[in-house]
């Protein structure tokens, strides 16, 4: 079954939500989802060079103290999911436009989910600038993509209009927050749902599929 996921690689709830989804699939022992990742920029008007992290936090939350208060629930939720998010390692809030281009290209190599995971870890664990083209090419190379080819693509204008259109279309669909999951093209699930939620969803889909097969026999 197709599972469309709208996310942004600098969204901590997207990282947490993916981890819960992964755990739900592992716990179920059934691989029923065909994951497809779609662009949704949290900061669509961000300067291509990004912004100093402290300046960004002041602009978004009013100051570092307010930012810490806002991020405490995220850190706790990440801990409960088994993730170690090192926000202090992040020195810049990047534009994620090129990261989304890279995710788009990775679909043809059947490694979208692997790349998304690598981007989350690069940003939230290692504090890498995933708005930097050289860093993106390095990350692509680390998961087995052709680093030289990716570097050339990132320096080109390839698919810029397409990714802009896809981001805009997501908003026209009514998506205004991430992560947003669309199960089987019908059911919309918003937010970083827990492992128990995904285990239940997978169990129900598997049961309905088995019933459907039995009815056909």
Summary mean pLDDT of the chain: 94
The answer, as to whether pTM is greater than 0.85, is: yes
* N-to-C CA span, the chain: 21
Q: What is the pLDDT of residue 209?
A: 61
Report pLDDT for 215.
42
pLDDT at 216: 46
Q: What is the pLDDT confidence band of residue 30, given thresholds at 50, 70 and 90? A: confident
Between CA 79 and CA 18 the distance in angstroms is: 14
> Could you tell me the domains of the chain?
2-216 (3.40.30.10)
Q: What is the separation of C-alpha 111 from the centre of its chain, rounded to a whole number of angstroms? A: 13
What's the pLDDT tens digit per position in 110-126?
999 999 999 999 999 99
Burial 54-78 (b: 16+ CB within 10 A, else e): eebbeeeeeeeeebeeebeebbebb
**Alpha carbon 92 to chain centroid, angstroms:** 18
Say yes or no to pLDDT of 212 above 90: no
User: What average pLDDT score do residues 124-138 get?
Assistant: 98
Is pLDDT above 60 for 160?
yes
Backbone angles phi, psi at 70, to 5 degrees: -70, -35
């Amino acid at each position: 079954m197709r599972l469309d996921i709208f996310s942004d690689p600098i969204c901590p709830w997207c990282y947490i939500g993916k981890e819960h989804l992964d755990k739900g699939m592992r716990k179920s022992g059934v691989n029923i989802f065909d994951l497809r990742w779609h662009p949704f920029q949290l900061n669509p008007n961000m300067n291509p060079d990004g912004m100093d992290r402290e300046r960004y936090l002041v602009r978004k939350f009013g100051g570092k103290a307010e930012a810490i208060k806002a991020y405490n629930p995220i850190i706790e939720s990440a801990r409960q999911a088994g993730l170690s998010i090192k926000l202090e390692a992040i020195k810049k809030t990047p534009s994620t436009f090129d990261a989304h281009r890279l995710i788009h290209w990775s679909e043809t190599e059947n490694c979208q989910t692997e790349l998304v995971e690598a981007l989350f870890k690069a940003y939230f664990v290692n504090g890498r600038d995933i708005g930097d083209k050289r860093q993106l090419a390095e990350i692509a190379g680390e998961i087995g993509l052709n680093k030289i080819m990716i570097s050339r693509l990132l320096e080109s204008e390839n698919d810029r209009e397409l990714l802009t259109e896809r981001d805009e279309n997501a908003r026209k669909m009514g998506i205004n927050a991430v992560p947003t999951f669309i199960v089987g093209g019908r059911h919309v699930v918003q937010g970083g749902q827990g492992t128990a939620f995904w285990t239940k969803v997978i169990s129900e889909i598997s049961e309905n599929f088995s019933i459907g097969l039995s009815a056909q026999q």
